[in-house]
Structure 1
Amino acid sequence: MLDEHEYQRYDRQIALKCVDIEGQERLKATRILVIGAGGLGSAAAPYLASSGVGHITISDFDKVELSNLHRQTCFTENDIGRYKSEAMCDRLLTNNSHISCVPITSKQSSQLLTEAIIEHDLVLDCTDNKPTRELINEICWQQKTLLISGSAIRTEGQVGVFTANKNEACYQCISSQFSDAPSSCVMSGILPPVVGIIGSMQALIAINSIIAPNSVVTNAFYYFDGLSMEWIPYKVKPAPACKICG
């Protein structure tokens, strides 16, 4: 149940017919795991917290560096050297004391990651490498957990929504078509607002899945071109030979 302070805090959300009191209470009861506290996580997590998602876990074993600050807007120069997950939780709790936020600062094995995913209602993949994304996808598929996967590089970004339902695609169906050659913001560069747009979209999809589950488009993959300002939606079909869901 919401207390009086929360009614006042979320007044502008509760006024929306798609949210109302019931939707706000569902947000409060939801547990979200955000894996990756870089540029995507810096955009997604604050919106989840300010919207009233009751519990957020931030998983990231990296520490804040000076080169992060141009795109990872959760952090300040005073955070350099701190674990990103701890600094991000502090930021979220400063904004909203009515939620809980737990940092995970250790590198997660497959078993530990499985245990973490089991404890949450949905997962935001905000990581920056293909093997980790594929592992997260595999566990989410096994546990039938909604996965909202984001990525961004150069001036472009992508968001995928995978429900782990039978006869629907998973992230592996798409990633199997990607190159295995490593690519990163260090090598290729990144325009800061692009990660903000993609991370914000991840947060929006997550919130929509809570307040209006039937509104979430399944088998969906969205490509964003930051130069042309175009969103290109794709309907993803399951790959018959997919090793995860095929």
Structure 2
Amino acid sequence: MNLAPTYKYLFRISIRSLMLVYLWLIGITLILPALFSLISGTIGDFSLANQLSSQQFSIVAGFFLFFYFSLNDNHFNFLIQNGIGRKTYWLGKLLVAGVTILIIEAINLVYLYAIYLPIAGTGNSSDTLQISYEGNPVASSMLSLLYGHYTGNELLDYVLTTIVVLFGLASITALGMAVGSIMSLFSRRMKLIIIIGTPIFLIVLAIYISNLNIHLFSTTWIYDFAKVIVGAGAHPVEEHFNPFAPMVSGTIFIAIMLFVSRYFNLKLKVRTD
């Protein structure tokens, strides 16, 4: 199957791309503001703590996972021309995605506890959704606000919340793989139309949703279904959502997306357009 060399090739490119994205993030969020402060003569007012956000690495990682693993053409063309089958390519990509997700979450945890908390501490007012660290509010985390006190055991709740994060990252990645495999079947012109049209559609949809009556929306089956998915229950209590609900719904969603991804990946052809 040539799975090992396929995995090594895809993994090397994945990690290289991830590190490049992180370097850009550091440059944009830290180096550029410092340079502007130096040039403008306000370097004395520059604060590293004010430039840090507890969620910046997580947000960027989510975008990276979706867009990077939605790409197929270049990697597929190279591997297929070197005797690698479609099934092997897809399996290698899936393994790389799983390992990359674990690496990203490890980086997120190291950043939060080794960099963000020691430097920013409680002084970062940009974090409006708070979790506690040694009794002090220090970092924003929507998931901690939902699942942070489900069992009442701090360590267990932290582990469960981290697992939910991993399921979230895996869901984003699987969605990207499914979308990318479908997009790869279209011509470059059609891809451009879809890429331009999709954000426009999403903006119109967002405007429509924002104009909905919130009370009426809360009585619809969509709202009830969303509560089941996130583990809210009939009477949601902040920090006591059931973390096992998104694990189950996430498993189903990931399985469906991977099935779609594999199905369309087996139909991929070498494209020159």
Q: TM-score range by the shorter chain?
A: under 0.3
Question: Which structure: greater helix fraction?
Answer: 2
TM-score, length-normalised on structure 1? 0.26
Between Structure 1 and Structure 2, whose CA radius of gyration is higher? 2
Which of structures 1 and 2 has the larger relative contact order (alpha carbons within 8 angstroms, sep 6+)? 2
TM-score, length-normalised on structure 2? 0.24
